[in-house]
Structure 1
Amino acid sequence: MWQKSLSPQNLSDDEKLALKKAPSLRFRFIVSGVIVICVIAGIAINLIFDYSRQLADLSYDRLLRSALLQMDENIALIDNQVSVDIPWSAFATLAQADEDRVFYKVESREQGFITGYDNLDSQPPKRPVLDQMQFYNQSYSNELVRFAWLERHLTNPESAQTVRIILGQTRLSREKMASSITQRAVEVVVLIALVAIALIMIGSHLVLRPLHRIEWALEERVKGDLTPITINTPKETHHLKVAINHFMARLQKNLEQLENYTADAAHQLRTPLASLKALAENARDNTSPEKHHQALENIVRQCDYLSQTVTLLLNQAVVSHRLQTHRLEPMDLLLPITASCREHAVPALHQGVRLSYECSLQEAWVLGDGFSIQQMMQNLIENAVRYSSHQKQQQTDVIVRVQALEKIYRIQVIDYGDGIAEEEKERVFERFYRARYDIAGSGVGLSMVKDILDHHHAQIDILDTQPKGTTFQVDIDKLRFFGGRI
């Protein structure tokens, strides 16, 4: 089982080191959650601190207002003089904050200082408005004091004066009340934060559980099981499951291609090796110099065929690998075509075939893989030359033609051989299928051509050449450029 091989004790030293250095998704999730909670808790505590101060000021400002209004009610204008009779109840109201000191001052614009603390020169931060009470904090006698300020007119039939009343109280009780509110609120916030962190730690396990389920599903599989994962997963891990399934499908396809390639190699090499062995045994047993020489010629010919077969198999393996690992890139289609024609011109001539290349284009840009397209063209040209060289009394030309249409480039490989019957045209791309066994061939060249064209999203058609022969026609999309870009 995979589970045994993937257990920590069975990991190699490099795997253990990589596991140790690997970042933890759960740790990142928890740390991110803790940071967010701490930031929120810090903001909440700061707001609570401000709110507690405001609440304390609101509560004690009511006492300060009540005391100032009681003082204001006992101020009168008698004989053009301001008379002040501060009631005991005013100070009794402020005495509820027994730790605080009280400062006050009564004065008028016309008469000046009347009673209280003569050096209490306090002005509100805002512009004074008659009959409007103001509250503010200001330093006095080396202490921070909360002041209530009021200014109003006193009138009688004979005169009028403007009286100003200033009443202050230290902030000790206020700060104590605000501290008490803040402490309780902070305790609640910290408790909530700790509970949230605990829930995040538990939630991280639940959030990552689908990943563990996928891991367990893979570990419990037997070796070679590449079937898709069918367990139900959340939306967030669904794409991961689909990606794993696609990867396993590609891997399964690669394994099948490897098996096919191994079967191809065994199939292709078995026959020439057996033939080569038979020819060698025949050469060994023959004593006649003429037959001995002929046997050696047959061995050399069979070695050439075996070499071609090995080269074809190696090219097929390289093409299969490139189709799986290389992306299609912008390329000039004419380069691999002209290279293939140049490479096969002389060998075709030795077989009595004239290979012609017809193209008026300067360049033809497509998305493709140059090596694969060159292998495709080599197989098409070799196939056309092979079947044309057997025509002794007919035209032995092979033409490679490239044309530009509206949206595609069209490649035609034209021969004048015996042609392909209609019922066989659909089968020529099957692996190992050969229409004629009297002509040398492997039966895998056209199959590789079809695989290459399918990867390039190109189309291939088999047409009849007039008066006789076969035309392989390939249509491949042009590369579109927009504003200098693909």
Structure 2
Amino acid sequence: MLPEMRATQPSLFARLARRISLVLGVGAALLVSAAWYYADTAADKAYDRLLVGAALQMAESLAVEDGKLSVRLPASAFELLGLADRDRIFYRVIDTNGETLTGYDDLESPRAPESNDDAMRVEEGTYKGEDVRITRATRVLADPAVTGRAYVIVAQTNEARSALTRELTLRATILVIVMSLLAFVGAMLAIRYALKPVEHLGTEVRGRDPHDLTPVSVDVPRELDPFVGSINHFMGRLGERVDLLQRFIADAAHQIRTPLTALNAQIDLLGSGKMSKADRQHFDRVKERTDELSRLTNQLLSHAMVVHRADSVQLEPISLVDVARRAWRAAVPITVDPDIVVSFEAPENRPFVLGDAVSLREAIVNVIDNALRHGTRNRLEVRVNADQTHAFVEVEDDGPGIPPEGWEKAMQRFSTSKSHEGGSGLGFAIAQEVAKAHGGSLSFRPRNERGFVVVLTLPLHQKEQTAD
């Protein structure tokens, strides 16, 4: 459950990428908004100057002729306004009496004609249902026939300035997007580079041997110092636990095996005396249970040792023939039934495997011991051979064997069909765990006319060595 939960958590790189993209997105939106505002302001200023210039030219064209105010609108004013080819122009000329000399009678200025404000201003307005920009120019007349103020009102639609605003905003938006993408890519590369020490630290820890619990010594940024310190503290505590476990296994092996050996010796001495038939039956049962207890204790300690060594011992090239021969000598007792034919076969070229000699010896001992106790009737054969890629240790006996439907169950701990014969169900489980720890497997071969075979398969060492 925990690995699945951990797998769903986003990486640090993904978190930083999301946050940076969010910041860049907000920044880009603000920049685009600012670009639109400045583009709108710039377009208004540009076209307002044209509008004011045209109004001033119209105002300058007012003249008094024959005692009357007349106007001759200059073509240059309309050419100036014609620079905004998308817009329509509206104008109105008002004389000193407030009468319209020419233009649109209903065009009104945002400011009243009576206003004394002569400053040129451009304001927003609406004319004929369209949004326009309106300005008013004032001409002061001091002719004896005509005196007072005359006004020129000029209005222009907003199409050209809106188009200019959109164009400037679009260009600014493209620039902002390109710069944001470049900034995002640059930030991702910078983050990837900045996270290299984390990846290097993980590679360093993962590449360590299981038995190497020395402090991690990697150059990392200051921000990772607490993390490295926590790893080293944990590895120190783990090393202490491993040492305690090793001492416990050694002490347990010594403290438990010693009294069991003494107990067996006392039982053997007790059995040398004369006993009644009933006492002999009780004695045999006690001896049988004591033997079972010794065997189970040895197997439990062997299993604990195998599990511990699988995580703490560095594998090295070893001769499988030498290991199997030592296991064969240790597993076959001197007091074996002389009617049982026991043999050991090995090739001249000794196959080498990458493994732990102690664990492999325990695995083979358990397989041979299981065959002697529960399978062998008249023959036990131990063979070592190899092909191009794997080495094999085969233990064959002439017993009834295990039916195929019981093979999977036979690999499980404390699972046995021979409990009435003193079986503990740990032999095959120990051998299988050792095989898996070495990249191999434990399997069974169906019984044929010769017998039942248990096969321990291990991968050959790449640089296979041969006997001198």
Task: Tell me the alpha carbon deviations over residues 211-253 of structure 1, each in whole angstroms, 9 at most, x when there is no partner.
Answer: 2111100111001212222111123323222222222223223
Aligned to 1:100: 87
Aligned to 1:254: 241
SS in 2 for 1:28: helix
Contact 1:130 1:150 in 2 (8 A): no
Task: Tell me the alpha carbon deviations over residues 334-383 of structure 1, each in whole angstroms, 9 at most, x when there is no partner.
Answer: xxxxxxxxxxxxxxxxxxxxxxxxxxxxxxxxxxxxxxxxxxxxxxxxxx
Instruction: Give the RMSD, CA atoms, in angstroms.
Output: 4.2
Contact 2:51 2:154 in 1 (8 A): yes
Aligned to 1:66: 53
Within 5 Å, give how 1:46-445 maps onto structure 2: 46-76=33-63, 82-108=69-95, 110-124=97-111, 130-151=117-138, 153-156=140-143, 160-259=147-246
Separation in 1, partners of 2:48, 2:41? 10
SS in 2 for 1:230: coil
Separation in 1, partners of 2:196, 2:224? 10
Separation in 2, partners of 1:177, 1:44? 18
- Shift of residue 107, structure 1, vs aligned partner: 2.0
For the structure 1 residues 19 and 124, does the alpha-carbon distance in structure 2 shift closer, same or farther, using more than 3 Å as the test? Answer: farther
- Shift of residue 278, structure 1, vs aligned partner: 9.5
Task: Tell me the alpha carbon deviations over residues 414-471 of structure 1, each in whole angstroms, 9 at most, x when there is no partner.
Answer: xxxxxxxxxxxxxxxxxxxxxxxxxxxxxxxxxxxxxxxxxxxxxxxxxxxxxxxxxx
Q: Which runs of 5+ in 2 are unaligned?
A: 275-468
Aligned amino acid, residue 68 of structure 1: A
- TM-score, scaled to structure 1: 0.48
Aligned to 2:17: 30
Separation in 2, partners of 1:163, 1:105? 11
Q: Which runs of 5+ in 1 are unaligned?
A: 1-13, 288-486
Aligned amino acid, residue 67 of structure 1: A
Task: Tell me the alpha carbon deviations over residues 100-138 of structure 1, each in whole angstroms, 9 at most, x when there is no partner.
Answer: 21111122563333322101123159x965210111222
- Shift of residue 39, structure 1, vs aligned partner: 1.6
Separation in 2, partners of 1:271, 1:210? 53
Aligned to 1:357: none
Separation in 2, partners of 1:81, 1:201? 77
SS in 2 for 1:165: strand
Aligned amino acid, residue 196 of structure 1: A
Separation in 2, partners of 1:79, 1:159? 10
For the structure 1 residues 97 and 227, does the alpha-carbon distance in structure 2 shift closer, same or farther, using more than 3 Å as the test? Answer: same
Task: Tell me the alpha carbon deviations over residues 266-302 of structure 1, each in whole angstroms, 9 at most, x when there is no partner.
Answer: 7877898899999999999999xxxxxxxxxxxxxxx
Separation in 2, partners of 1:253, 1:259? 10
For the structure 1 residues 151 and 259, does the alpha-carbon distance in structure 2 shift closer, same or farther, using more than 3 Å as the test? Answer: farther
SS in 1 for 2:17: helix
Contact 1:129 1:151 in 2 (8 A): no
- Shift of residue 139, structure 1, vs aligned partner: 1.9
- TM-score, scaled to structure 2: 0.50
Aligned amino acid, residue 84 of structure 1: V
For the structure 1 residues 187 and 124, does the alpha-carbon distance in structure 2 shift closer, same or farther, using more than 3 Å as the test? Answer: farther
Aligned amino acid, residue 228 of structure 1: P
Aligned to 1:294: none
Contact 2:32 2:176 in 1 (8 A): yes
Contact 1:106 1:115 in 2 (8 A): yes
Alignment coverage as a number of residue pairs: 280
Contact 1:150 1:166 in 2 (8 A): yes
For the structure 1 residues 262 and 152, does the alpha-carbon distance in structure 2 shift closer, same or farther, using more than 3 Å as the test? Answer: farther
Aligned to 1:39: 26
Aligned amino acid, residue 90 of structure 2: F
Contact 1:130 1:152 in 2 (8 A): no
- Shift of residue 63, structure 1, vs aligned partner: 1.4
Contact 2:67 2:146 in 1 (8 A): yes
SS in 2 for 1:226: coil
Separation in 2, partners of 1:237, 1:260? 35
SS in 2 for 1:37: helix
- Shift of residue 60, structure 1, vs aligned partner: 1.7
Contact 1:97 1:173 in 2 (8 A): yes
For the structure 1 residues 81 and 282, does the alpha-carbon distance in structure 2 shift closer, same or farther, using more than 3 Å as the test? Answer: farther
SS in 1 for 2:195: helix
- Shift of residue 262, structure 1, vs aligned partner: 5.4
For the structure 1 residues 123 and 283, does the alpha-carbon distance in structure 2 shift closer, same or farther, using more than 3 Å as the test? Answer: same
SS in 2 for 1:121: coil
For the structure 1 residues 174 and 140, does the alpha-carbon distance in structure 2 shift closer, same or farther, using more than 3 Å as the test? Answer: same
Separation in 2, partners of 1:202, 1:129? 64
Separation in 2, partners of 1:134, 1:257? 92
- Shift of residue 20, structure 1, vs aligned partner: 4.5
For the structure 1 residues 192 and 276, does the alpha-carbon distance in structure 2 shift closer, same or farther, using more than 3 Å as the test? Answer: same
SS in 1 for 2:117: coil
For the structure 1 residues 89 and 159, does the alpha-carbon distance in structure 2 shift closer, same or farther, using more than 3 Å as the test? Answer: closer
- Percent identity of the aligned residues? 33
For the structure 1 residues 152 and 74, does the alpha-carbon distance in structure 2 shift closer, same or farther, using more than 3 Å as the test? Answer: closer
For the structure 1 residues 151 and 268, does the alpha-carbon distance in structure 2 shift closer, same or farther, using more than 3 Å as the test? Answer: farther
Aligned amino acid, residue 46 of structure 1: S
